[in-house]
Structure 1
Amino acid sequence: MDQLRVKKGRSLWWVVHSWIGLKLSILLTFILATGTFAVFAHEIDWLATPAMRVSPRSEPVASWGALAQAAARAAPDARLQTLYAPIDPWFAVEAWVSRGKGAPERVYVDPWTAKVTGRHGWANVHRFLRQAHRHLMLPTKIGIPIVCSLALLLAVSLVSGIITYKKWWRGFFRAPRGGDGRRMTGDLHRLIGLWSLWFVALIAVTGLWYLVETLGGNARVPKVPDVEASPMPTGVALDRLVAIARRADPALDVREVRFTPDNGVIFLGQSSAWLVRDRANAVVVDPATSRVVAQLDGRTLSAHQRISEMADPLHFGTFGGLWTKVIWFLFGALLTAMAVTGTMIYAMRLARSSRSDVGSLKIAWQGMGAWGYIGIALILLTLILTPGAIGGAS
């Protein structure tokens, strides 16, 4: 009797696993693929945009003041919003400048010579992949819950896969069997799944966290005090503020400088806290008085805030630089392959059992039912909304 119950339980979990893998395969594959490529979105933009490319040098880099001055001079009719340090030595510094209406423009500056290498509009590969993966170009209140609900289903799929795979711990080094397409695809699906268990769990947990944040469970963002409006400093004036910020937090590696009309100049980056976004560490300086008006330290965050700041580095693998991004990209590609092979397994199983002349792809499409049309419709809607979504919103 107990064995019968276990068998029925496994059968139920297999139905759940198959339903998720088939019905939602089109949308799930799209979300996983865009997320995978988003890991290297900046690098893809680097390949496509000559102005982003610089030659690393052994000499010291230019000061933040010189970089800000170069960006401001390149767009004298615009307001300098933000400066971003290079992601890697072969990247240019990126500045955002705004004319008050529409999206900002990007100005690229050589970090060693402080010379402008070029300008670019707001729309790029990074914006497309980020917004397509995050909320399908839909309003965030609608798109994020749709995308993040897949994280819940991914978690269920993870659990159901383990339950239905008997003695799964023995399969880590079991090579896929040949001679039969369905058998080989099934073995490959299970092998990828086993080695990706940690990654699936990580993506599912961080995806569920994003859903919690969207539904109102987001962590409190520390408030920065207002200061009197004053001209934004560049050149030597900005360098003086940088020195003040570094005295306030000697461990701060400045990765971003924000020029705000109401809160002064905000220096953000990595400091003593590990596995947090740059915004978790900040020194805010009033340019009019050269006084530090606020300071954020990632080590003093509450548990709620720390989870929030950890989510992005863990979800996209950016915390360890190029090496962790390579690992995240590879496992993202494997996870995307799992979504495809799961659909193939279902189609080939039905094709064999029915002994029909209907092709496997058609069988898979028929098995998706209305969910296939919903997935295709959401992807097409994403592409239709792309020009307006990434061209006019920051």
Structure 2
Amino acid sequence: MVSVERAQTAAAPRRAAKPKASRLWWSVHQWVGLKLSILMGFVFLTGTIAVFSHEIDWALRPALRVDPATVHGPIAWSAAARNVAALHPDARILLLDEPIDRGFALTATIQKPDGARAFVYLHPSTGAVRGEGPWVGAHRVLRNMHRHLNLPTPIGVPIVSALSILLLISVGTSFVVYKKWWRGFFKPVRWRDARTAMGDLHRLAGLWSLWFAALIGATGLWYLAESTVAKAPPSPRAKVAAVKLDTRELADRLETNLNAARTAYPGLRVQRIAFPAGKVGAFQFAGQYKAVLVRERANMAWTNPATGAVVLLTDGRELTVHQRISEMADPLHFGTFGGVWTKLIWFAFGLVLTALAVSGVAIYALRLSREGRAWAVWTTAWRGMGVWRWPALAGIGVALALLPALFLAAGGD
């Protein structure tokens, strides 16, 4: 005979089982990878190509190419400056930049009387003019689209860098979604059908690129903080009054100032020379010294162009913690710290990250689509993005629509 208590218990409806935590995190992982996948894929792809943006300009601009066999000895900074001044006596020389690699010309950035900026390319050993080029090229286009979608930087940088939050969430949830993930590094791909193969490839690529995704996400989060609430304190600046010297006179005085900077800052490898401009009346000699993973601006010698006197020296090793992180972000984000070899690694893993954005959407669609046809799969993916697809497409549309404005702005004020 069944007791009343047991009968009541049996008759009582069962409570709905709570979803497993792993299922919840899988839903989060899927949502993050799906809703803004179009925009994230665009940002990943433009950033990946931007790693070699200088090389793209080199391929497109013959004047930027130099026969490496003809390059020898120190960079002819002064001869280059004088030749630029002779070519464009009415223009202002803004910057002289050393070649980024063998086979590249030294680059002078100038500003013409009408406000238009342009490049003059010179032989690094002789300073001879090799040709000119417009200020907007592959590097500028890719940089602006990747960094701020061609929007004003106070608006565009926070929008793009906020995607780092989604990337970091995707990285974090992948550890929960993929059970015993540490065993999957060498797990073979199963090719029995498209859904299984895509899932295995996605997990395999994701595992091997975890470090890269975490690095890009962390540096992107730092860019978000810097552009909103945690801007790095400014580096020391020398107080030198604006000088009344024309382009030729400044070019003639460069040699004296450069020698003074080298004497006061022995060991500094000068990579960039900023000419006096506006209220900043000093020459600025920037480059690498002993600090690791810093931009050239971290190590600088400031000189008074009129007298050649050194007025300020800065050392990257003396930066605050906040400034140090800020200086490390760019070399780590773009992989420029080790030359072409690290750039190749960053480019390869950037392609993997872009592929992950695409394959994640494909996996979602293949799970839900009842038809194997491509149009049905991508229709399912399109619907799954919901209303989020519109701001994602709008971001890409704005970046492309504002490209003409970038070219017009470079043409003058």
- TM interval, shorter chain, is over 0.9
- Which segments of 5 or more consecutive residues in structure 1 lack a partner in the other structure? none
Counterpart in the other structure of 1:74: 87
1:379 maps to 2:391: no
Q: 1:370-392: per-residue Cα shift (whole Å, max 9, x none)?
A: 22222222211111101212441
Counterpart residue identity of residue 38, structure 2: I
Q: 1:274-296: per-residue Cα shift (whole Å, max 9, x none)?
A: 10000000000001121111111
Q: 1:216-250: per-residue Cα shift (whole Å, max 9, x none)?
A: 31111124233231426555631221111111111
TM-score, length basis structure 1: 0.94
Query: What is the CA-CA distance between 1:189 and the residue it aligns to?
Result: 0.4
Contact 1:102 1:392 in 2 (8 A): no
Counterpart in the other structure of 1:301: 319
Counterpart in the other structure of 1:366: 383
Distance in 2, matches of 1:385 and 1:88, equals: 31
Q: 1:173-197: per-residue Cα shift (whole Å, max 9, x none)?
A: 1121112111111000000110111
1:190 maps to 2:225: no
Distance in 2, matches of 1:318 and 1:215, equals: 25
Counterpart residue identity of residue 160, structure 2: V
Q: 1:83-117: per-residue Cα shift (whole Å, max 9, x none)?
A: 00000120001101112544411111111232111
Counterpart in the other structure of 1:96: 109
1:215 maps to 2:221: no
Identity, in percent, stands at 49
Counterpart residue identity of residue 198, structure 2: T
Distance 1:180 1:280, change over 3 A: same
Higher mean alpha-carbon deviation, 369-378 vs 132-141, is at: 369-378
Contact 1:123 1:391 in 2 (8 A): no
1:258 maps to 2:274: yes
Q: 1:357-378: per-residue Cα shift (whole Å, max 9, x none)?
A: 9610111111112222222222
Pairs within 5 Å for 1:19-58: 19-56=31-68, 57=70
Query: What is the CA-CA distance between 1:69 and the residue it aligns to?
Result: 0.9
Counterpart in the other structure of 2:298: 280
Pairs within 5 Å for 1:331-370: 331-352=349-370, 359-370=376-387
Distance in 2, matches of 1:357 and 1:310, equals: 43
1:125 maps to 2:131: no
Counterpart residue identity of residue 240, structure 1: T
Distance in 2, matches of 1:216 and 1:133, equals: 21
Q: 1:284-334: per-residue Cα shift (whole Å, max 9, x none)?
A: 000112111111100000101100000000000001111100000000010
Higher mean alpha-carbon deviation, 318-327 vs 234-243, is at: 234-243
Counterpart in the other structure of 2:333: 315
Contact 2:63 2:130 in 1 (8 A): yes
3-state DSSP of counterpart to 1:173: coil
3-state DSSP of counterpart to 2:229: helix
Contact 2:82 2:252 in 1 (8 A): no
Counterpart residue identity of residue 385, structure 2: M
Contact 2:238 2:282 in 1 (8 A): no
> Aligned-residue CA RMSD in angstroms?
1.9
Distance in 2, matches of 1:120 and 1:356, equals: 47
Distance in 2, matches of 1:101 and 1:211, equals: 35
Contact 1:224 1:263 in 2 (8 A): no
Distance in 2, matches of 1:267 and 1:84, equals: 10
Contact 2:79 2:126 in 1 (8 A): no
Which protein has the larger Cα radius of gyration, Structure 1 or Structure 2?
2
- Which segments of 5 or more consecutive residues in structure 2 lack a partner in the other structure? 1-16
Distance in 1, matches of 2:214 and 2:85, equals: 45
Contact 1:61 1:113 in 2 (8 A): no
Counterpart in the other structure of 2:186: 173
Distance 1:36 1:268, change over 3 A: same
Contact 2:149 2:156 in 1 (8 A): yes
TM-score, length basis structure 2: 0.90
3-state DSSP of counterpart to 2:369: helix
Pairs within 5 Å for 1:230-249: 230-231=244-245, 233=249, 237-249=253-265
Distance 1:186 1:31, change over 3 A: same
Distance in 2, matches of 1:327 and 1:29, equals: 19
Counterpart in the other structure of 2:129: 116
Counterpart in the other structure of 2:219: 206
Counterpart in the other structure of 1:60: 73
Pairs within 5 Å for 1:129-140: 129-140=142-153
Distance 1:188 1:277, change over 3 A: same
Counterpart residue identity of residue 93, structure 1: L
Distance in 1, matches of 2:75 and 2:353, equals: 42
Distance in 2, matches of 1:235 and 1:102, equals: 20
Q: Paired residues, what number?
A: 389
Query: What is the CA-CA distance between 1:263 and the residue it aligns to?
Result: 3.0
Distance in 1, matches of 2:365 and 2:113, equals: 53
Contact 2:92 2:111 in 1 (8 A): yes
